Structure 1
Amino acid sequence: MPSPADAGSRRSGSYLTTNLRRSLDSIPVIGGPVFGASWDRLLLAALIGYTALVTTWLALGAPGVARGSWVRSLAPQVVALAAIVCAWRAGGELSFDRGTRRFWKVIAAALSIFPIARVAIDFVLRPMSPDAADLAVMITPVAAEIVLLSAFLCLPSAPRSAVDRAKLLLDIGTVGVAGLLVTWYGLWMVGGSGIAVRPFAILHVHATLELIVILVASVLWRRTALQHRANVLVVMATALLLQFIVHVLAIVQMTQGITNFDVVRIATPVSFALIAAAAWISIATVMHRQVRARSERDQLTASVIPFAAVLPGFALLLKLAYSGTPHDGGTQPLLGLAIGVVVLTALAFARQFTSTKDAVRLLAESTARNNEARFQALVQHSSDVIMILDPDGTIRYASPSMALVFGHDPAKLVASRIESILHPEDLSSALQFLEELARSNRSRTGGATPGVLKREWRIRHANGAWLTVDNVGTNLLSEPVIRGLVLNTRDVTEQSVIKQQYMHQAFHDPLTDLANRSLFLYQVGHALARAQRQSNAVTVLFLDLDNFKTVNDSLGHAAGDRLLVEAARRLATCVRDSDLIARLGGDEFAVLVEDTASVDEVLAIADRVGVALSKPFVLGGKEVFVNASIGIARSARGESTDELVRNADVAMYVAKTRGKGQHVLFEPEMHKAALDRLVVEADLRRAIEHDEFMLQYQPIVALETGDIIGAEALVRWMCRDRGTVPPGLFIPIAEETGLIVPIGRWVLRRACREAKRWTDERGLPVRITVNLSGRQLQEPGIVEDVRQALADSGLAAAQLVLEITESMLMHNTELSMSRLNALKALGISLAIDDFGTGYSSLSYLQRYPIDILKIDKAFVDVIDKGGEGPVLASAIVALGETLRMNTVAEGIETEAQRGHLLTLGCELGQGYLFAPPLDAEDFWHLLLARGARTPYPTLRRREMSVKAA
């Protein structure tokens, strides 16, 4: 049923138009709907109907009446005019690009040749020359096809590069030469057969030109990206292909003697109609943007035509080569065909060479694009930041990772200076780096390697934090694409923190966090270099904590560590912020002081340090007192780091020898003394190896009778170079270096052997006294050394007395107690030497297993002077009586001293009054003359006290 709209249309007289429009809208045309304007649809319908009517009429073989002749003549002209109108309208479509509009205008011009030429030929040329008019009729389509070819070259998809144009020209040349070769052969074939040569040749030219235009259309079709434009080219190529087919059929008919070319007259208006349809399709689909899919088949279809054009030449050549009968009109054109085939082959090879070259170029361009895309992808997704800078620091490019790593928008950084994101302290270093990088254009090794430098600095993050970055700069100023300095920046903040921690650990003491020896010596070297330029002096204070070993031994290492930390804190309060404090190891500290005008300023610092460290340290609820022995050395011109630190160390050693809590300024004589000490130490080591020691024995006598009851063994050093070295020179050095241990072991064994020999030869026991140093008492093997000495010599343990100093009781009391008890368990006697000069208390005397108190010579010297002199000696003797200990007075030189000691109750003594230290033989003779013959009562009392203990 018709709709109301249809009824309205019927009433208005437009029912037919409406139905026709619907019918046309339903026609499936390649590329989309046909048209939108009503008159376009009507014109298309009229042309299609008219063309169908004429084609049917001619196909039925209508008689050649005047009306039929008029229709046959008029039909192509009418369709051509319609195609001209459509093409011209497409050429004026503003939605087309300039090339497409020019294409349709040239198409309209090509189609206009037909009606214009027809009018000129029929009304002007034919009355004058019918033959010329017939020739013009045949040539007109040739001119139109040439113009049509130029129209295709106006399209946007037409080749523009030199290579593409060369390929197209070679394809056109190949098809043209093949067509000429076929034309020449055809003319040779029809020679003498009565066939009109001129129409025959022109038909060949028509076919060749049409094939060339089809070739160009196929090339453009392959290069066209939009689907609707490719469809237009397909319709245009179909129109040309139809003309080519009918011209080939006409040629075949002429060779068979048929001169009726109705097939050509039928095809011409159909071709014009297809061209008009192509124009309408182009207008109707102007807004379509569908991209066509490409395939390898498209490439093959577009490129097979020029190579197929070579085949006719080879086919004709083979035909003549195997033909046995020549044509009546002449000889076989074998030479001409051979030349034509050679030309075709050359063109085919040239075309292939050009295609190969173009393929190589395209491959290189594709590879370059891929590499560029790959590089761009790497840059886009790299965790490193890539920047391109001008030599003055202007940022020309920043990779997208700038936003990810540093939080800055890369686009906003472009054209800004890199100083805007640099740490102020790193600004000068960064600008210097850019200057050096700009100067390092190329390496000196041939100029092929860009200059590359590395540097670290800090960059501000968008959130305000400072990040440490590692920069690798490459100079690409000479690269045309870059022309700048390329910075590859990587965030190394975490690695930098770890590195700084490692550096701090490498150059700082882990306990106190002060500088260690390595950093201290490094800074002293720099200070000396600055001082030399500025003519200033550098001062080093070398500190050693007195009594620190006692704290460590008595309270433990943990308490000692706390004391060191507190000492470091106190040191920091005594020096300036510019001074450097270091812990060199153990309980040794050092201070580097610069820019001091006088020695008084340095001495004031030393005084403050001494006062600060003399205050009590509270460790584990106990107050501990330590002092600092300080050596001070000021630099002289040309002095090295090692020399300055060594001088401070020497001064500190001198301060220790002068008493605790002292500070001493270095003097050159101290260095000489230190050198002498080193020489003595070296000679002392050699003396141990070469057995250069000997023993002297000072008799111990009963004061009342003068009988010798024993002797004290005294070591002497008979140096081969120095002669006899005083004990006061080498004993302290042996104590400090630990050489006293092997020396004491040798003394113990020699003294025990001599005492055993004297005992065996006299038949009476002789007591031998040997001094035991503090270092020997600390040795784990001291008890075994004594046991071995007694065992090797065979001496009774009761005849051996070991002397220790009073101060030894205060060092490492627990260890000393255990060692002395172990020695006492061997059966020997223990004596305290120089009693009264130390700081032991009665509680210590009660705790330790001591048998003998030896009164120091200082008390004996004043015992006969009156006043308080005898009081101290009397107190010591009374203490010995109270504690059931024997007393021995040392350094007795006069009878008066002997008398006073006897009065006080002291029974034993030694000194020059009785005999000086003697060698073994002299003492043996003295022992024979004055040795005690009966056991002395005090010995029995001592033995009883030992048993009681």
Structure 2
Amino acid sequence: MIASLASARQFMSAAPPMPPAGDSSREPELNAQLFRYAEDLQQMLERQIELEADYKDLLKASIPLAESRNQLNGLIDRSPDMHIVTDSEGRVLRCNPATAMLGRTEEIIGSLLRHWLSPTHLEQYEALQRRALLAAPGEAEDGTLHELKLCPGAPPGTSLIVAVQALPVLHEGKISSVHWIMHDVTRQREAQFASQISSAVFRSAAEGVVITDINGSILSVNPSFCRITGYSASEAIGRKPGELLASGVHDEAFYAAFWQSLRETGNWQGEIYNRRKSGEVYPEWLTVSAVRNEDGAIESFIAVFADLSHIFDETQQRVAYLAHHDMLTTLPNRLLFHERLQEVLAQEDSADNGFTVILLDLDRFKQVNVAFGPHVGDGVLQEVARRLLATVHKVDTLARFGGNEFAIIASGMTGEADIGCFCAKLLGALRQPMAIDGRELFICSSLGCATYPAHGHDEGALLKSAAAAMYHAKTAGGNTYSLHDVRGAVDDGTLPMETELRRALERGQLRLEYQPQVATRNGALVGVEALLRWQHPHFGEVSPEQFIPVAEAAGLIGSIGEWVLHSACRQLAAWDDQGVSIASMGVNLSPRQLRDPAIVDKVRAALTASGIAAARLELEVTESEMLFQLDADRYKLAALRDLGVKIAIDDFGSGYSSLGRLLQLKIDRLKLDRCFVLELEPQGDTRAGAITAAILSLGEALGVELVVEGVETEAQFELLSRQGFQVIQGYLTGRPMSPAAVAQRFTEFAGRSEAGCVHG
């Protein structure tokens, strides 16, 4: 109404002025004009009323519109999706609270949206922005979702995958900004990726995979299952694994324990034997796991298995090779030589054709090791092996017996002239100078020969005859050969080694030396091994490799072994009296001693006579010798352990014993054979390293201590120490030495330890 009065006043101020009084000539014109103004005024008042009514209607309509806008903003603020509005340059104008997953609001507002995107998705983002800004006003959005990868501000390295819609925003009829709606699909994509990976692994895994329901019926199998078992998927699905694969190897107790483990723990793992479709029984490593639902109830089982048959074959071949070959020279070892000799003896025509056994020992080889080091000695042995191998016939067997001794089975050779010619070739091949480690060395050898059947009808007799003949060659000055005499002496009538050995024991020519066993952690002397030595008054130092086999064959080893046992125990007591506390004394026990019915009483007598504690005596038994009478030997070993003495398996790894047989023995220590240590150098053979590591794990699993023999270099020591071996024995840490030298070494170490405590 106020607006109407104002309009009227404006109208009156615009009306024409009234004529002067008495001027009647213009009155009709003015009346007409006044009438028109009145009509216009009426129309204006009516229009004003209409506008006021429209304003009231608009005011009423604006209230729900504002409420709708507020509701929309509230929904956007509460939305789990990110809502971001950017201007035409891509700079963020507004964002909702959900963008907190990307960064702080103050960081996002005003920033370019492209800065929050992965570089790999910038091109796609720019295309979406361009499309939204160039869309025609009113153009409908096609609803297509696009995926972009965002890089949140924290933590570094994380990313978000979002499904995106880019909507154009109109202002005064023009598109001025873009409204981005981003839905987080990271978990879905990760789950999808994990599912794809799982599916790919299921299809391509080398192991067989079986999925069963709770009743054990097969739901699915992978291609490797079909390859390993021979059954197709259609043959397997719907049936139970036991119906298809049961081998009959395992009893009911095995399967009862299997299902009990699954019910109680939800998994089972172990070795099992199954049967292929072809009927072949094979070993496999099986892992079965229960799959539980959200309530914790088992709803299915997944079984994964690896075929072990090929691994077993390869491992058995490798172990068989290691057990039958010398690692330094790759020649057959003593064990394989014995097998070959037994095979030749078993042949029907061997008595007609005959053969000769030749034992070869390198003269003064010990001086090479002392003067130039074990690595030069090893080089000499390798070169000797190459030259001998090039000289013997293809049908002959050449083996390294151990140390510097080699053995040959010369097939079809029995005549003295042929033997002499052959031995001359062998001597000549070795007599040529050798270039080892930049040095020119001259090596000679002594050969002893025994023919079958003239010099023996069995393995023991032949080796005894060959050893006696070789001993004669050495006493003759070496660099020659000798043929055994059927009368029991060698060619010139010299008494055989057996007689000399009997006199050695009677005349006190035998002595013991002791090789230290050292802790890898600090170099402490933790034990010694007693080693037998023979100093002959005329022939000098006689190698144990020469006289021990003769003692075994002649039946002298029992009395010699008993002397060694008493001497070692007395020496341990003598050290105690000097204040030299050696924790352990290792004494080798021969197979003949072990099978002596009175061995337990003899050991008890040695302990009683010396007064040392039984736990300080360690009896060492060679692994290869244990293979032949294991059932009888294990009871003897158990009886010895009941005395309190420790039992060690010597040369472990050289006897080709199975783990099952090893578990039957009650032992305290394994002494790793030197052949594995030799393979650790010079190239750092990873296979040998893997074997030593596996043996360490085996020892830990069995609860026995391990000692590594034959450690001669720093590189071997460092590798074995890193692997976790705690005790080593070898030339690196100490050669065999006299009792006085052992006491001196113990005292020196104790002095250094005390000084370290004082000054540390």
TM > 0.5 between the two?
no
The higher radius of gyration belongs to: 1
When you count helix as a share of all residues, which structure comes out higher?
Answer: 1
| TM-score, scaled relative to structure 1 | 0.30
When you count strand as a share of all residues, which structure comes out higher?
Answer: 2
